[in-house]
Amino acid sequence: MFFLFIKDGRSFRFLAPAALLLLYCQLEIFDLLAYLHPLNFFFWKKLSLICESLLPFVALFFSLTFYRSSGLRNSGWISRIFLILSPLFLVLVLTVAPEKLIFSPDFSDEKIIFLGEWGFLFYVGIMVYLTLSLLLLERTLMSVSVHERWSIKFEITGMGVLLASSLIFYSQSLLYRSLDMNLLLTRSLALLIAVGLIIFSRVKRGGGNPISVSRGVAFQSVVILALSLYLIGIGLLGEGMRYLGGTFQKNFFIIVSMLIGIAFLFVFLSENLRRKINVVLQKNFFRNKFDYRRQWLEFTRQISGVTSFEQLQQIILTFFCETFGFAGATLYLKENNSGDYVRVVNFRVGVDEAVFNKDNVLIGYLEKRDWILNVADIETEVIAGNEEFFAEYNISLIVPLRFAETLEGFVICGRLINPGERFTYEDFDLLRVLARQTTSAIITRKLSEELAAARELVAIGKISAFVMHDLKNQVTSLSLMVENAAHFIDDPEFQKDMLETLTATITKMRNLIARLKNLREKSELNLAEVDLLTITERVIKNIGREVKLVASGPVSVLGDREELATVLLNLLINAFEAGDEDPAVIVTVGLGVEAEPYVKISDNGCGMSAEFIDKHLFKPFSTTKKKGLGIGLYQCKQIIDAHGGRIEVVSEIGVGTTFTVLIPGSGFESDHKFGV
């Protein structure tokens, strides 16, 4: 029995019922030993009292957590206070002598236990806790959804029988200040019934999902009325049994009452009966069959909180079934490529038909008419070719899901829980409203997923563009080196420069690969004291083109040597590509206003308009070059921004462009990180 709970033990709420059952079993064993061995009565009853002192905490904890998704988090402050005070029962049993709690002068003959003052308070307190536990359990049962109630109604009924039998057993303490141990048979029978129902529920129907509390005022009113009649009947039966007397009659009365209560619960938990009661309420106490506003708001609330397409589909079918009383439903959606309609989810109906071909007669009928098909009134031509399908799965309705003039899918609704219920115009009106909202939600979700996939592709395209740009720069550097090698390969100085260039290229390629491995993270600068003039000279040497360098001396900054070299390389390549076959490029390194370090790169190329500089210059994929990618300047700005610097641009069409890279002093604070 314990295994049936712990195998689903996703949290402590599944262990609480197991603990309660184990506690009851131990209590029954100790009471039975006390009953069978009167000479050792106080020894066994002391152990029994310890078990009973744990009962308030375990029973209340069980009722607060059993199949409740929120657990103790959303329990009321009164329940929490009771839970905190429950250990006082154990303290009482451990500190007060057993003789002050209970006594039995002639237990071997009468099997009656009398209660002292402390004992009376002890058992009255237990009754309060059992009553509160039953109240919370009833609230859970009445608040659960239709499909969840099917899974757990036997389990909750079993636990309710166990708690109710204990309440009846201990009620003697309030009436007679005594406990009749001859009634142990009743509590033992209740324990057997509870275990049997729980085993049946767990094995045959499985554990339900955690639920959240909701309300159904009209239906609960009927439940309370029926319970009142039941209690009145039990009172009349008890009054008649009082004249018969004897222990047998007491046991018979309690057992009959308990069995009638169980039968009453099973009858009232029938979904067929619930639907019939709701129909009676709607016809006689309400103007309309549905509260359209409440239904629409509830459906909107449920579908707006989904986190996945699969969850949305399941919620749609669950709401359809609970609202209209279908035993199950199946959702079919249009497959974009083939145009066929594919089954995407089943809800409590095992429809094996995975695909409806787009040429199926049923599909053609649904595409031509924006009607909800009532199978009882369906035309013969639609049934043709689908006879076995309609007959095997006992279909009630087919609800089309249309967007504009396109059939996006349809919902196949199974048999009605209440076979005597008939569809009215109100059912069809609400179905149309929910169908439109369902279609909108499904299309929105599909478009959202398609947009997310498109964004991923765009991101991959952008990354590819950055990689291509970096590779282009490296290829440019290597191609220039190869061209010069044809003339200077025997020059030792050229050989040294060539090795340095190859080493630098390999290092940059490795850095590029490392950056690609961490695309989701920003790159962090490797800051150190570096000389701008040295970096500029190295870049000019690697590029292998004629550049006029103007500098008064070393310029020290706090920066990343490789990233600053990347910026200068990008700007120099842009300068050469912007000019004619023999461009004039001038690079100036120095200190500006307030001794701010700068590197200025000027060319006599085509230049740029003021509008392009303001709106497009540093944005990715914007360029004035015929073969450019529009990546380099964007990358330059990212790197210089990470250094806390800025890039200034002066340009005139047909005259040329000057880029000035300014880097602040080492005391500037920034996050020193930049994206690709």
Of the pLDDT bands very low, low, confident and very high (cuts 50, 70, 90), residue 582 is confident
Q: How far apart are CA 275 and CA 269, in angstroms?
A: 11
| Residues 532 and 522: beta-carbon distance below 8 Å | no
- Is pLDDT above 60 for 183? yes
Cα of first residue to Cα of last residue in the chain, in angstroms, is 59
Does 182 share its domain with 89?
yes
Residue 516 lies in a domain: no
**How does residue 99 score in pLDDT terms, banded at 50, 70 and 90?**
confident
Whether pLDDT at 4 is above 50: no
Position 133, amino acid: S
Domain count, the chain: 4
Mean pLDDT to the nearest integer, 321-346 = 83
**Using an 8 Å Cβ cutoff, are 572 and 600 in contact?**
no
Specify which residues 529 forms β-bridges with: 558
Q: Name residues whose C-beta falls within 8 Å of residue 73's C-beta, 6 or more positions apart in sequence.
A: none
In-domain check, residue 540 = yes
Distance in angstroms (rounded) separating the CA atoms of residues 331 and 350: 12
Q: Is residue 392 part of a domain?
A: yes
Between 6 and 261, where is the model more confident?
261
Backbone conformation region of residue 289, classed left if phi is above 0, alpha if psi is from -120 to 50, else beta? alpha
Helix (H) or strand (E) holding 132: helix 117-143
Residue 9 has pLDDT above 80, yes or no: no
Residues 426 and 315 in one domain: yes
pTM confidence score: 0.40
- Choice between 219 and 102, residue whose per-residue pLDDT is larger: 102
Q: Assess whether 165 and 142 both reside in one domain.
A: yes
| CA pair distance 564, 552, nearest whole angstrom | 20
Q: What is the pLDDT of residue 602?
A: 92
Q: Side-chain half-sphere of 488: how many Cα atoms within 13 Å?
A: 14
Q: Pick the more confident residue, 592 or 647.
A: 647
Q: Does 588 have pLDDT greater than 90?
A: yes
Strand (E) or helix (H) holding 651? strand 646-652
Residue at 318 is within a domain: yes
Q: Please state which of the ranges 195-199, 241-245, 258-262 shows the lowest mean pLDDT.
A: 241-245
Which has the minimum average pLDDT: 37-51, 174-188, 254-268, 310-324?
A: 254-268
pLDDT of residue 332 exceeding 80 = yes
Instruction: Give the residue from 212, 230, 260 where a domain finishes.
Output: 212
181 and 254 co-located in one domain: no
Query: Is pLDDT at 2 greater than 50 in this prediction?
Result: no
What is the residue range of 229's domain? 215-269
Give the angle subtended at the CA of 453 by the CAs of 447 and 459, to the nearest 5°: 135
Strand ranges in 532-593 using DSSP code E only, listed in sequence order: 548-551, 556-559, 586-591
- The 10s digit of each residue's pLDDT in 389-413 is 777 777 888 888 888 778 888 888 8
Residues 171 and 43 in one domain: yes
Whole-number percent of the chain with pLDDT over 90:
4
Rounded CA separation 323/302 (Å): 13
How far from chain centre, in Å, is Cα 592?
Answer: 57
Residue 324's pLDDT is 81
DSSP E strand stretches across 99-208: 102-103, 112-115, 178-180
Residues 157 and 260 in one domain: no
Residues 255 and 343 in one domain: no
Give the confidence band of 74 by pLDDT, cuts at 50, 70, 90: low
Spatial contact of 258 and 157, defined as CB atoms under 8 Å apart: no
pLDDT at 215 (0 to 100): 37
The helix (H) or strand (E) run that includes residue 659 is: strand 656-662
Domain boundary among 451, 477, 502: 451
Alpha-carbon torsion (12, 18, 20, 22), positive or negative: negative
Task: Report yes or no on 603 lying in a domain.
Answer: yes
Q: Is residue 551 part of a domain?
A: yes
Q: Could you report the per-residue pLDDT of 621-637, keeping only the tens digit for each?
A: 566 665 555 667 877 88
CA distances from 262 to 127, 223, 578 (A): 21, 14, 90
Whether 351 and 343 have beta carbons less than 8 Å apart is answered as yes
Q: What is the pLDDT of residue 3?
A: 44
Structure confidence at residue 586 (pLDDT): 92
Are residues 178 and 232 both part of a single domain? no
Tens of pLDDT, residues 476-519? 777 777 777 777 777 788 777 778 778 777 777 776 666 665 54
Q: Are residues 416 and 390 in the same domain?
A: yes
Residue 427 and residue 306 share a domain: yes
Other Cβ atoms less than 10 A from the Cβ of 306: the count is 16
What pLDDT score does 245 carry?
54
Q: Which residue has the higher pLDDT, 310 or 233?
A: 310
What's the pLDDT band for 599 if we cut at 50, 70, 90? very high
Mean pLDDT across 79-106: 85
- Give the range among 68-77, 306-315, 530-539 with minimum mean pLDDT: 68-77
User: Residue 551 pairs with which residues in a beta bridge?
Assistant: 589
Backbone angles phi, psi at 219, to 5 degrees: -65, -40
Residue 290 is predicted with a pLDDT of: 61
The encoded tokens of residue 126 equal 């237990």
Q: Which two tokens stand for residue 162?
A: 């166990």
Element (H, E) at 102: strand 102-103
- Mean residue pLDDT of the chain comes to 75
- The continuous run of DSSP H or E covering 652 comes out as strand 646-652
- List pLDDT tens digits, range 23-40: 888 888 888 888 888 888
How many CB atoms within 10 Å of residue 147?
Answer: 18
Considering the domain architecture, whether residues 208 and 221 belong to the same structural domain is answered as: no
Task: Read off the pLDDT of each residue in 159-172 and give the average, rounded to a whole number.
Answer: 81
What does the block give as tokens for 448? Answer: 């959202």
Long-range CB contacts (< 8 A, 24+ apart) of 587-592? 587/536, 587/540, 587/547, 587/548, 587/549, 587/550, 588/549, 588/550, 588/551, 589/532, 589/533, 589/536, 589/549, 589/550, 589/551, 589/555, 590/550, 590/551, 590/552, 590/555, 591/555, 592/662
pLDDT grade, residue 274 (50/70/90)?
low
Which three-class secondary structure state does DSSP give residue 508?
helix
Q: Residue 288: which pLDDT band, with cuts at 50, 70 and 90?
A: low
3-state SS, residue 497: helix
- DSSP E strand stretches across 320-464: 329-334, 341-347, 355-356, 373-374, 397-403, 406-413
Q: Examine residue 594 and state whether it is found in any structural domain, yes or no.
A: yes
Residue 659 to residue 569: CA distance in whole angstroms: 13
Q: Residue with structure tokens 């563009």?
A: 465
Query: What pLDDT score does 71 carry?
Result: 59
Instruction: Give the Cα separation of 273 and 280 in Å (integer).
Output: 11
Over residues 446-474, the mean pLDDT reads 69
Q: Kindly state whether residue 278 falls inside one of the protein's structural domains.
A: no
264 and 320 part of one domain: no
189 or 280: whose pLDDT is higher?
Answer: 189
Q: What is the CATH number of the domain that holds 374?
A: 3.30.450.40
Q: What angle do CA 644, 647, 649 make, to 5 degrees?
A: 165
Whole-angstrom distance, CA of residue 508 vs CA of residue 467: 11
Band (601; pLDDT cuts 50, 70, 90):
very high
